[in-house]
Structure 1
Amino acid sequence: MGLILKSIERQVWESFQKTIPLGSLFHRWEWQDIISAGFGLQVERLGIFDEAGVLKGLLPLAERKMSLLKLAGSPLSGSATPHSGPLGDVPMPEFLSALEVYASEKHIDYLELGLTDVSGKDGLEKMGYTVEELLTLDLPIPKDEADLWSGLEVRCRNAVRKAEKSGVKVVEPQTLEEWLEPYYELSCGVYRRQDKEPPFKREYFAALWQNLYPKGDLIVLTAQYDGKTIAGMIFPRDRNVGYYLDGVSDREYNKVVPNNLIQWEYLKRAQAMGIELYDMVGANIPSIAKFKKSFGSTERKYLYAYRNRTMAARVGRKVYAKHSETIKKLLKRS
């Protein structure tokens, strides 16, 4: 069976996505608007059709020019999108063949894919992709708050109690203006401490709010201590799946453990909203994985795969891997 990739309209896209049982935030039409505004990407919203012209799946494909190279990915690295890839009942070998035809027609030098599970690994490797198995953490949300609390590890429950006793207050802003500037400053501080360029601009956070909050699909929580914002986290959702998208904090206040309290307050809200699964998005840094596991989450493997389609892409990836921070700084100044 041959498959064809071609652009489709918003109504067709959204109607198809409603047929998928679980939520899929990173395939939503609005998500493509968010990463376009936040990272300057061009996103092609492609339908995956069979030979009879029946729509079988969706593929958001983000594109970026870097020097003379054309990069494309679903998702593309650096777009705050942990996974994406084809959505729907699409056989991987046929999909990859169709993607290769599309990439040739569009003169794409480099491709990336991030898939929510590991079932397509063999097919990717046969098509010349380099494949890595990564980890995220999932937390099923029980119906009862007592069960939710008992699912936390003892050290996590103690941290929540300590934050409350220390006087940390969790606030849920109702407008963009309430949280954007303090959150952005904390975000910049996190990366400055690592001598890295902040990956997120104000435009990204604003686009998140403007595209998701009016639909009831975004919660932002901040922690206040002695009248100061010391931490914050961003939690979008798609239907019955919630996500931990981003978090920042001032390490000077680690002693009052605000992050544990924010997560706990979110879990209670998620439960009240009817969210059934909480995707904590990433567990590949040991210290972060340890924190996320303390809430009772379990590991799930997913795939990151990339393919250099041209010699120029192979050389370019090696250079970027060696000098990525310098290149990011130069791109920001340009």
Structure 2
Amino acid sequence: MSLTIRPVEREQWQEFLQGISRGSLFHRWEWQDIIEAGFGLKVNRLGLFDEEGILRGVLPLAERKMSLLKLGGSSLSGTATPHSGPLGEAALPEVLSALEDYAAQKHFDYLELTLPDLTGKEIVAQQGYTVEELLTLDLVLPQDQESLWAGLEVRCRNAVRKAEKSGVEIIEPQALEEWLEPYYALSCGVYRRQDKEPPFTREYFAALWQKLYSVGDLVVLLARYEGKIIAGGIFPRDKNVGYYLDGVSDRDYNKVVPNNLVQWEYLKRAQALGIELYDMVGANIPSIAKFKKSFGSVERKYLYAYRNRTLAARVGRTVYAKHAGTIKKFLKRS
């Protein structure tokens, strides 16, 4: 079966996603709106059509210009989108062939893809992509709170108790103005402690709230201690899958372990919402992976692949790998 890639209107995109049984947040039309607003890029909402014009899959392809290069990704690095790629019943070889035709037509210099597991690794590599295995952590939620609590490691349960006994309170904001500024300040602090430019803008956080909270698909939790906001987390969902999208904290208050309590309070809410799977999004930094595993989550490998389609892209990626920090700071100022 040969495929053709072309843009899809919102109604057809939405109808296709409604037929998918498991949640897929990062394929939602609203998610593309969020990253367009938050990162200043364009997302091409593409459909995978067979010879009879039947829609067999969808592919959100983010597009960004970097100097003279045209970059495309599903997902594209730096867009807070850990999982994306083609979604649907179309066979991967046909999808990759159609994507190559589209990329040539639209003059993309570089492509990135993420795929949910490792089954397509050899196929993607054969198409000229460099393929890497990445990790996330999944937690299947039991139906009762007692089992949920029992699934936490002892050290995690002790940390939750310590936070509660120390007087840490968990707040669930009901309006954007209740959390945006304190959360954004903590986010900036997290990255600046690492001498990095904060990747998230106020516009990104606001778009998350505006697009997802109004339909009941976003939970934001803040930890307050002695009248001060010291930590927080952002937890969107789609259907029966919840995600740990982002978390922040003030390390001066690590002694009262607010992050453990934030996670525990979210897990209880997730159960009440009928969420069956909690994707904790990322396990490639050992210290963060250790924290996430303490809640009972297990590793799942998925694929990240990239392809330099032009010589300029090959040279550009080499330069970027060596000088990424300097380039990011320059782009931030310009």
- Give the TM-score range, shorter chain: over 0.9
Tell me the distance in 2 between the aligned counterparts of 1:20 and 1:239: 10
Tell me the distance in 1 between the aligned counterparts of 2:116 and 2:220: 25
Percentage identity across paired residues of the two chains: 77
Tell me the distance in 1 between the aligned counterparts of 2:298 and 2:194: 28
1:99 aligned counterpart, secondary structure: helix
Q: Give the structure 1 partner of residue 322 of structure 2.
A: 322
Q: TM-score, normalised by structure 2?
A: 1.00
- Which consecutive unaligned segments of at least 5 residues does structure 2 have? none
Tell me the distance in 2 between the aligned counterparts of 1:113 and 1:106: 17
Q: Give the structure 2 partner of residue 198 of structure 1.
A: 198
The one-letter amino acid paired with 1:165 is: K
Q: Give the structure 2 partner of residue 245 of structure 1.
A: 245
Tell me the distance in 2 between the aligned counterparts of 1:93 and 1:190: 41
Tell me the distance in 2 between the aligned counterparts of 1:181 and 1:324: 28
The one-letter amino acid paired with 1:76 is: L
1:269 aligned counterpart, secondary structure: helix
Tell me the distance in 2 between the aligned counterparts of 1:62 and 1:41: 7
Segments of 4+ moved more than 6 angstroms = none
The one-letter amino acid paired with 1:331 is: L
Q: Give the structure 2 partner of residue 49 of structure 1.
A: 49
Cα offsets for 1:251-293 (capped at 9, x unmatched): 0000000000000000000000000000000000000000000
Q: Give the structure 1 partner of residue 154 of structure 2.
A: 154
- Which consecutive unaligned segments of at least 5 residues does structure 1 have? none
| CA positional deviation for 1:58 | 0.3
| CA positional deviation for 1:52 | 1.2
1:296 aligned counterpart, secondary structure: coil
2:96 aligned counterpart, secondary structure: helix
Tell me the distance in 2 between the aligned counterparts of 1:109 and 1:127: 15
Q: Give the structure 2 partner of residue 75 of structure 1.
A: 75
Cα offsets for 1:74-103 (capped at 9, x unmatched): 000000000100001111111000000000
Tell me the distance in 2 between the aligned counterparts of 1:108 and 1:126: 19
1:229 aligned counterpart, secondary structure: strand
Tell me the distance in 2 between the aligned counterparts of 1:312 and 1:301: 31
TM alignment of 1:275-286, pairs within 5 A: 275-286=275-286
| CA positional deviation for 1:325 | 1.1
Count residues in correspondence.
Answer: 334
Tell me the distance in 2 between the aligned counterparts of 1:63 and 1:161: 46
Tell me the distance in 2 between the aligned counterparts of 1:235 and 1:98: 34
Tell me the distance in 2 between the aligned counterparts of 1:324 and 1:204: 22
Tell me the distance in 1 between the aligned counterparts of 2:205 and 2:277: 24
Cα offsets for 1:49-79 (capped at 9, x unmatched): 1111110000000000001000000000000
2:179 aligned counterpart, secondary structure: helix
TM alignment of 1:1-334, pairs within 5 A: 1-334=1-334
RMSD: 0.5
Tell me the distance in 1 between the aligned counterparts of 2:90 and 2:229: 46
Tell me the distance in 1 between the aligned counterparts of 2:131 and 2:207: 31
| CA positional deviation for 1:240 | 0.5
Tell me the distance in 1 between the aligned counterparts of 2:54 and 2:192: 50
